[in-house]
């Protein structure tokens, strides 16, 4: 049984859509980071997205755990032309597409960005490769809201719009277990 311990990076405090922009994480809540690290198995292997907010969070919780190279496939959704823009700004410019993007996620994509299905395919491939290379291991994956939500959707076998109702906080732990044939849910959005 492979256990995925999906950690959302520390907060960026951005008030805009942040996907592939490399904003730093606020890691000043050292007690929360210490609790999170203590909640993880000591022999788990750590991997993160290549964006600095995930890398720095992984650094802060790694401890003596082994580390794999950063993986760009674990990045957040690419918001394309909407990147670093506020919701109201995009809504004023392209309300129909924005509404469809959030209300009926799937194939709708921001200009020059990714759709939910694009993100999900990229995330599934990255996670499947990790499981294949590390069967039966505990894997700490420090990533982003969209990536974690995509794997929650996958494990529950629910439509994207239903998955969007699940909260995934910064510095939270979402636990998914894969036995080679299917998924089981562990803790979801757990903040130790």
Query: The domain that contains 167 carries what CATH number?
Result: 3.40.50.1240
* Within-domain flag for 190: no
- Distance (Å, whole) CA 192 – CA 112: 38
Q: Name the burial class of residue 180, with classes exposed (0-12), middle (13-18) and buried (19+) by CB atoms within 10 angstroms of its CB.
A: exposed
Residues 6+ apart with CB under 8 A from 101: 108, 109, 110
Give residue 180's pLDDT.
86
Q: What is the pLDDT of residues 10-21, one digit of tens each?
A: 999 999 999 999
Q: How does pLDDT run across 42-84, given as a tens digit for each residue?
A: 999 999 999 999 999 999 999 999 999 999 999 999 999 999 9
- pTM comes to 0.95
C-beta separation of 158 from 179 below 8 A: no
Residue 25 in domain: yes
Strands ordered across the beta sheet of 45-48: 45-48, 138-143, 2-8, 173-178, 183-185
Structural domain of residue 38, as residue ranges?
2-185
Q: How far apart are CA 139 and CA 3, in angstroms?
A: 6
In a domain, 192, yes or no: no
Q: How many Å apart are CA 100 and CA 162, to the nearest integer?
A: 14
So what's the pLDDT on residue 139? 98
- Residue 191 is assigned to a structural domain of this protein: no
User: What is the count of structural domains for the chain?
Assistant: 1
* E strand or H helix that includes residue 26: none
**Residue-wise pLDDT tens digits, 159-190:** 999 998 899 999 999 999 999 899 999 999 99
Work out the angle at residue 34's Cα, subtended by the Cα atoms of residues 73 and 75, and round it to the nearest 5 degrees: 10
- Give a yes or no: residue 140 inside a domain: yes
pLDDT digit string (tens) for 83-124?
999 999 999 999 999 999 999 999 999 999 999 999 999 999
């Amino acid at each position: 049984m492979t256990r995925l311990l999906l950690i959302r990076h520390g907060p960026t405090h951005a008030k805009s859509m942040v996907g592939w922009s490399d904003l730093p994480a606020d890691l000043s809540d050292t007690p929360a980071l210490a609790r999170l690290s203590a909640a993880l198995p000591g022999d788990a292997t750590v991997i993160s997205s290549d964006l600095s907010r995930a890398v720095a969070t992984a650094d802060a919780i790694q401890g003596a755990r082994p580390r794999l190279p950063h993986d760009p496939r674990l990045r957040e959704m690419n918001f394309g032309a909407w990147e670093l823009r506020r919701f109201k700004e995009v809504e004023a410019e392209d309300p129909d597409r924005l509404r469809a993007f959030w209300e009926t996620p799937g194939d709708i994509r921001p200009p020059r960005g990714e759709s939910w299905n694009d993100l999900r395919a990229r995330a599934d491939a990255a996670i499947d490769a990790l499981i294949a290379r590390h069967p039966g291991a505990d894997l700490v994956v420090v990533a982003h809201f969209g990536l974690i939500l995509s794997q929650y959707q996958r494990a529950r076998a629910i439509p994207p719009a239903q998955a969007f109702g699940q909260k995934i906080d910064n510095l939270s732990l979402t636990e998914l277990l894969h036995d080679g044939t299917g998924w089981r849910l562990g803790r979801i959005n757990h903040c130790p």
